[in-house]
Structure 1
């Protein structure tokens, strides 16, 4: 199947940002998680992510100059995010992606990775199904103009350095990464998205 057809198929079963937030909350209430594999660890990550996103939805703010740029943004595009409830990077970046989308009048839709592996496999990161992945679609909603993720640019460098040094990401590093996100307050994601939209 061609990529355009795969995107079209994926778009038949999407969630808005608010629906996704309610979807994650329902998993928390039920003590479960989204995705093909349900485990106590992924369920716990889902719970943590719900709390994070709830906080970030309230506290993340756009910089005034970025708000101005987004208010003037007039290209007909849409955002499609591939994610799952348990993904820590997604929880830290999606609230900012949503704020950028809202400010620019960009329609944002979300699909679940494990229900859309055909789509996911077109956007691997170093051969891996890493999420969250943001696809910027054209007015027809079938052509990918740009992509972003699974992490902001600075976090991507930190992860690459850690992997080069130790070959894998330890639990300690993952905690350090969450601390970095907390200190960054979405600014790196905001700037990355600004550059991405300016380049369209």
Structure 2
């Protein structure tokens, strides 16, 4: 196991603990991360509502449930996240539900700003985009693959908007959240299942 991953795991959170951490910080008017601002706290509050809703409504398709239960090995999903991240709020409830239903995956969440060395190994276009999911073999500690920061169709939506308008603004953020809403986690499930099945070939 790479040292940055081992260090990150040592200070990692379960999904339940991560949710509690965000909730406790919101009560203090704070967010996770080094930077603190009213905007980031508002994003964290909005994301908490989203995650609470998704925890209740997310459904793993029957086909994907079977594939998850049929995984041969055991894995750790190390996810780099922050409470203010809109993409993470949409994706972590899916990842958690998949991990729980598989019985083969241990989901651990680490904070980006507390794990700079690890984040720098998984930059997207030289940027610290999150969430990033890193697949670790539970028995050997070998790093097998990674995924993120968002499904391909959502990434294309962002890239096309930036190409046309040159900015990431509130309109784009709204469009992205609407994409997640309509997709209902299906694309994310498909991509993550594809990643895991390919690892076992």
TM-score of the aligned structures, taking structure 1 as reference length:
0.95
The answer to whether the 8 Å contact 1:82/1:133 transfers is yes
Which runs of 5 or more residues in structure 2 are unaligned?
none
| Cα deviations by residue, 1:113-144 (Å, 9 ceiling, x for unpaired) | 00000000000000000001100012246432
After superposition, the Cα gap between the structure-2 partners of 1:138 and 1:10, relative to the gap in structure 1 and judged at 3 Å, is same
Which runs of 5 or more residues in structure 1 are unaligned?
none
2:39 is matched with which residue?
41
| Cα deviations by residue, 1:62-83 (Å, 9 ceiling, x for unpaired) | 1011111111212122100001
* Alignment counterpart, residue 93 of structure 2, candidates 92, 95, 103: 95
The answer to whether the 8 Å contact 2:133/2:146 transfers is yes
The answer to whether the 8 Å contact 2:81/2:110 transfers is yes
| Cα deviations by residue, 1:147-199 (Å, 9 ceiling, x for unpaired) | 11111121011111112222222211111111111111111111111111111
Matches within 5 A, 1:46-57: 46-57=44-55
Secondary structure at 2:56 match in 1: helix
TM-score of the aligned structures, taking structure 2 as reference length:
0.95
2:63 is matched with which residue?
65
Aligned length: 198
Q: Which moved more, 1:89-98 or 1:140-149?
A: 140-149
| Cα deviations by residue, 1:84-132 (Å, 9 ceiling, x for unpaired) | 1100000000000111111112011011000000000000000000001
Secondary structure at 2:121 match in 1: coil
Secondary structure at 1:197 match in 2: helix
Q: Which moved more, 1:167-176 or 1:123-132?
A: 167-176
Which whole-Å CA distance do the structure 1 matches of 2:157 and 2:56 have between them?
27
Which whole-Å CA distance do the structure 1 matches of 2:169 and 2:99 have between them?
33
**Does 2:27 align with 1:20?**
no
The answer to whether the 8 Å contact 2:71/2:197 transfers is no
Which whole-Å CA distance do the structure 2 matches of 1:51 and 1:38 have between them?
20
Matches within 5 A, 1:132-171: 132-140=131-139, 142-171=141-170
